[in-house]
Structures are given as structure tokens and as C-alpha cells.
Amino acid sequence: MALPDLIEIVPLPGPVHAHITVPGSKSITNRALILAALAEGDTTLTGALWSEDTQIMVGALQTMGFGVKVAEDPAESANRTITVQGQGGRIPKTPEDLFVGNAGTAARFLAALVCLGDGLVKLHGIDRMHERPQGELFQALRALGYTVDAPNDKLPATIHGTGPRAAACTVSLQESSQFASALLLAADVGGWQIGLGEAKLAEAPYVQMTQELIAEFPKVGGTFAIEPDASSGSYFWGVNTFAEGVEVSHWPLTGWQVDAQFTRFLSPPREVSRQTDLGDSIMTAITLAPLQDRPTSFTDLGRLRVQECERVTALRTELTKCGARITEEGDTLHVEPSPELHGAEIDTYNDHRMAMCFALLGLKVPGMRLRDPACVKKTFPNFFQKLAAAPPAGLGATIRDAAGRGLAGEDLFAA
């Protein structure tokens, strides 16, 4: 049975004593898949996330002729053990097209990877992916000597792969740090020198992650462990703002993920920056902010506008529905304490993080109903199962369909 189109989250009755596991990091998994394909010999990724975004990446690599074997992970149903047969920098096959869905990492990382092959590849995705920025990356690839045909410098795009070439470019981090990460992942094989202009690495934690991952990754095959996804962990750590007793397994993490520091923001300071403090988990902090006893300003949110949905407007709109006192000023959201919060029917905008943020709020605020909850399959397909599972493996939350029937088990898996 598929997850219903509309579900209701029932508030937790009291404290919860739970020790939750969350799936592997999407950011690390998709980076590791590219590095494994470019390595020499077989690389086995353990604890790798198995969700819509990573399945798209695996499918693309297989279409490009890389051997990829996927095995179940008995410890976490949304993880897999993935073995990639690296070709030492060679691209085995040039497909006519690659579909990237709405996976930003796949769209950006594959755009650089196919340049190392020989021939034309069309990259395309869903309509929202065709709206998301790609221009800085395409301009950088052109500066390296590759031809990229793209209307308005967005997808769909046709990229002419001509193999490695010694060249240099500079890429901006203003719209997305994924552009720099895409180039860096392929740079050693490509013979590229990548400059970041005036960007400060201290303000680009995902680029730092890429650099550190490249340095640590086995170049001639072996095993590489993917750590849990810090932003996915934020939804469960966030429960402790109103019902103490929840821990997320395998914490603290390496520090590669900026969201590993989310626990420091359970009681946020008066200002939190998307640029220097938190990554995707800033959405979790924004959603919980109306429950705090002091106002908080969330700044530098511009990149949230060009992701799976226009997240700044979406957060303001849906929190306002719930009675939150929230205002938008430029790329800042100001959130006041909002004791009058109430439930509402939440539009998730086909955005996995919107669904998970408001599900978390529903564990405290009665009457929270989510449209299209299955969008969590993008990064966390068993998220609602974790909410409903009995402690200590889950929160024991009650989740109902539109008719008021309780849901459990496979009914809550977003396939």
C-alpha cells in the first residue's frame, strides 16, 4: 500500500525515550559514488543512502557503463552496501541522455563527469530541476574547453564530452556550492585547476566536505563508510525542544557535514546564518522557532530559494497558516514566539524537507496534516516509519490517513 496523499501527525503524549538510527548522508553518498567510479578497482560503500536521489545517481552510472552492485543493509532499511567497479578515470559508455529527476547533486556532478567521456550527452530532469541554476557550472566547463548547449544556461542541456584536458577555470559559489564540488570531484582525472575566486571556504562547508572526502577516499579500491545524514538527524534531535529523551545513533559525526552541529542550535541564538551556521537543517530550526521563548532571525537564506522549491516563501507561507508570527525581509526570516500555534493542512511543495519539518512540528502541535508526504523518498524513504515505530527504535507517534485510520509499518514507507 502506498503512503496516502494526506496524513495527520498526532502530537506525542509526553517524553520519549528513543535511540534513532538515520540513513546515510545523501551528500556524502553521491560524492562517494562519483569518486568510486573514477577510482581504480572495486570500491565498496557501506552505510550508503538508498533513496530517490542516490538511486538516480546509481542508475546514471550504470547507464554510463559502470558496474554497480547493490546489497541490502540489515542494520538500516534505507541504506545499502554499494560496490562500484571503478575504471581508473575512463568513462566506459556515452549514453544519449541521462535523467536526473530533481536531484541537484546528480545534475551538477554528472555534468562535470560526462565531460571526461567522448560524445554528446543530454542531461534533463523534472520541470523544477529545469528551473534550478546551472549557469555558473556551465560557464566553468566552457572555460575548461568543453561545449555546453543549454537554453538560458539551465537544464535540459547537451554536453560534449571530449575527455581530460589540462585547463583552468574559476567558479562562483554564490548560487550553489555544488558547482565547485562537481568540478573538484572530477578535477584530478580531468587535469583541471579549479579556482574559487574570492569565496571563503569557511563560508562553503559543502566544498570543504568535498575536499576532505577526496583526500580520504581510497584511490585504488577498498571500503569506504558513509556516515549518517546530519540533516536527517535534525528532525529527531529537534524533538528534544519539546519532549526530551531522543538521541540519534552514531553521533557526533566526523565534522564533514555542517549540520552535524545542529544540536548546538536546539536553543538557537538570536541570529542563525545559512551561510556559516547550518546547512539544510536550518529549515528544521526555522520550523521549531515559533516554539522558542525569544525571537530568532534566520539570515543568508538566498540559496533556499533555488532548491527543491522556493523554500523561504514556502516556510513563511506554511508557518503563517499555523499561526506563527513570521516575517520575510530580503533573504532573512524573523520568527517571534508564537504560543497560539495551531494545526493546518500543509502544502509540502514536492519538497522532502518541507514534509519532514512540518511532521516534526506536528509532534507538538495538534491538527497538522501533510499533503504529498511521499516526497520524503528523495532522501529519507522510511522517515514516517521511524516516527511511528515503538521506542526505542522510533518515537511511537500516531499517524493517521484522511479517514482517521491509524497507519503503521509498510503503509508509512515512501516507495
What is the Cα–Cα distance from 106 to 373, expressed in whole angstroms?
23
At position 292, the amino acid (one-letter code) is Q
Q: What is the 3-class SS of the chain, one letter each residue?
A: CCCCCEEEECCCCCCCCEEECCCECHHHHHHHHHHHHHCEEEEEEEEEECCHHHHHHHHHHHHCCCEEEEEECCCCCCEEEEEEEEECCCCCCCCCEEECCCCHHHHHHHHHHHHHCEEEEEEECCHHHHHCCCHHHHHHHHHCCCEEECHHHCCCEEEEEECCCCEEEECCCCCCCHHHHHHHHHHHHHCEEEECCCCCHHHCHHHHHHHHHHHHCCCCCEEEECCECHHHHHHHHHHHHCCCCEEECCCCCCCCCHHHHHHHHCCCCCEEECCCCCCCCHHHHHHHHHHCCCCEEEECCHHHHHCCCCHHHHHHHHHHHCCCEEEEECCEEEEECCCCCCCCEECCCCCHHHHHHHHHHHCCCCCEEEECHHHHHHCCCCHHHHHHCCCCCCCCCCEEECCCCECCHHHHCCC
φ and ψ at 358, to 5 degrees?
A: -80, -25
Catalytic entry in 280, 300, 372, 411: 280
Burial class (CB in 10 A: 0-12, 13-18, 19+), 262: buried
Whether 118 sits among the annotated catalytic residues: the reply is no
Active site residues: 280
